[in-house]
Amino acid sequence: MNDLQTVVERARAAFDTVHAPAELENVKAQYLGKSGCITDLMKGLAALPVDEKKSRGAAINQAKQAIEAALNARRQALADAQLQAQLQAEALDVTLPGRQRGVGGLHPVSLSLERIQTIFGSMGFEVAQGPEIESDWFNFTALNTPENHPARSMHDTFYVEGGTEHAPNLLRTHTSPMQIRHAVQHVKKHRAADAAWVQGTLFSGAMPEIRVIAPGRTYRVDSDATHSPMFHQCEGLWVGENVSFKDLKYVFTDFCRTFFENNDLVLRFRPSFFPFTEPSAEIDIQFPSGPLAGRWLEVAGSGQVHPNVIRNMGLDPERYIGFAFGMGPDRLTMLRYGVNDLRLFFDGDIRFLAQFR
Ligand code: PHE
């Protein structure tokens, strides 16, 4: 191997040991730079006789080109390696499981409320909504439960700031205030169209029947496996000229049998007391078969609307009469799905809730 070949081989070997592009440029200077090997060799030409200069010069040039080729090859190799490393680092593993976007669903109690609205809707009931922070008047007094009435202690009420002594604000303990709120609006609308109605008197003219349900959240100071401080109720009210207790029995029986998809369901109207209905009844249901068979399960309070309540609606109780009920959609949901702890509905545990999707 002549001296030029040796230089080329040394350069190649030196380039190959380098792994960083900046370092490669330093090594390049040792061979191709101003004071590098090739420049030194070129300087040596001056001492040669003229006839040798030409062939030696050409040989040095060849060596230079070989070194440049080796340099470029190494540059390319380093750039390729860098690109490979980068691609590797940014690589997508298409075999990894994707990030799931969960499919949402309605809460089981919402499913029940929708069901209740559909069933009563098919019987001509409209749906009304009202405030959860209620006044003493709508929650108690207008419902024939005056101050100091012992029935008030049946409800463990959450009182909230902002009311006065005689009209405190509270979290509604039931949806019954909606009986008054809705009926008052209904009566106002229709008595205005009646020329015979005298301002300040109870309305005894003609009007379309009041037929409404009012679902929503209600609150009581109470908490265990079957009671939650926040729970749901759905009020029902039907007031007309000829609405009797038998209509209540028919409507509610039909509702329960449709809700539970069971025509053999048995209902019991057990005498009870509510200040705003007279007579009053607690409604119990019994499944003919299944895990709950044979047990009476309370699902609602009900009764014929008390004349004092009819008056507070602005109606003349000599002409208007009706029934009301208040049921517990949470309870209905527990019975429908066989859930035995009410708190599961409000814990927000996805593992529980996803089962109802
Ligand atoms: N509001 C009563 C309760 O919460 C239920 C009820 C409603 C009773 C309507 C009679 C009529 O217990």
- Least confident residue range of 154-168, 237-251, 299-313: 154-168
169 CB-contact burial (10 Å; exposed 0-12 / middle 13-18 / buried 19+): middle
Query: Over the chain, what is the mean pLDDT?
Result: 93
Q: Answer whether 0.85 is exceeded by the pTM.
A: no
- Alpha-carbon distance values, 271 to 110, 277, 302, 304 (Å): 30, 11, 10, 12
> Tens of pLDDT along 255-284?
999 999 999 999 999 999 999 999 999 999
Long-range contact set of residues 203-209: C-beta below 8 Å, sequence gap at least 24? 203/314, 203/315, 203/316, 204/315, 204/316, 204/318, 204/319, 204/320, 209/238, 209/239, 209/240, 209/243
Asked if omega into 279 is within 30° of 0 (cis), the reply is: yes
Give me the mean pLDDT over the 203-227 stretch: 94
Identify which has the larger pLDDT, 102 or 189: 189
Helices 37-44 and 50-89: angle between axes, nearest 10 degrees: 170
Give me the mean pLDDT over the 37-58 stretch: 87
Domain edges within the chain: 2-89, 108-356
Pairwise CA distance, residues 317 & 283, whole Å: 25
Identify which has the larger pLDDT, 266 or 25: 266
CATH of domain 108-356: 3.30.930.10
Pairwise CA distance, residues 77 & 237, whole Å: 85
Q: Of the residues 237, 276, 310, which should be mutated to test ligand 1's pocket, given the most ligand atoms within 8 Å of the CB?
A: 276
Pairwise CA distance, residues 177 & 59, whole Å: 109
User: How confident is the model at residue 183, as a pLDDT?
Assistant: 98
> Tens of pLDDT along 219-234?
999 888 888 999 999 9
Contact 31, 11 (CB under 8 A): yes
- Alpha-carbon distance values, 96 to 85, 87, 91, 99 (Å): 21, 17, 12, 9
Is ligand 1 within 6 A of the CB of residue 177? no
Hey, what are 334's tokens? 């527990």
Percent of the chain topping pLDDT 70: 99
Q: Bridge partners of 210?
A: 239
Identify which has the larger pLDDT, 207 or 147: 207
Question: CB atoms < 10 A from the CB of 87, how many?
Answer: 9
In this model, does residue 210 exceed pLDDT 70? yes
User: How confident is the model at residue 161, as a pLDDT?
Assistant: 84
Is ligand 1 within 6 A of the CB of residue 38? no
Starting at the earlier edge strand, list the strands of the sheet with 169-171: 133-135, 169-171, 159-160
Alpha helices in the chain (DSSP H): 3-17, 21-32, 37-44, 50-89, 108-122, 136-139, 177-191, 245-259, 307-312, 329-337, 344-347, 350-353
User: How confident is the model at residue 3, as a pLDDT?
Assistant: 86
Locate the ligand 1 atom nearest the alpha carbon of residue 218 and give its number: 4
The tally of CA atoms less than 13 A away on the side-chain side of residue 291 is 7
User: How confident is the model at residue 165, as a pLDDT?
Assistant: 67
- Which amino acid residue places its CA nearest to atom 7 of ligand 1? 326
Long-range contact set of residues 291-297: C-beta below 8 Å, sequence gap at least 24? 291/338, 292/335, 296/268, 297/331, 297/335
* Ligand 1 center from residue 24 Cα (angstroms): 89
User: How confident is the model at residue 274, as a pLDDT?
Assistant: 95
Pairwise CA distance, residues 202 & 191, whole Å: 10
* Ligand 1 center from residue 176 Cα (angstroms): 6
Closest of 66, 60, 71, 17 to residue 37, by C-alpha: 60
Pairwise CA distance, residues 348 & 350, whole Å: 6
Those residues whose C-beta lies under 8 Å from the C-beta of residue 148, and which sit 6 or more positions away, are none
Is ligand 1 within 6 A of the CB of residue 326? yes
* Ligand 1 center from residue 177 Cα (angstroms): 10
- Which amino acid residue places its CA nearest to atom 12 of ligand 1? 301
* Ligand 1 center from residue 235 Cα (angstroms): 8
In this model, does residue 166 exceed pLDDT 80? no
User: How confident is the model at residue 224, as a pLDDT?
Assistant: 85
User: How confident is the model at residue 35, as a pLDDT?
Assistant: 86
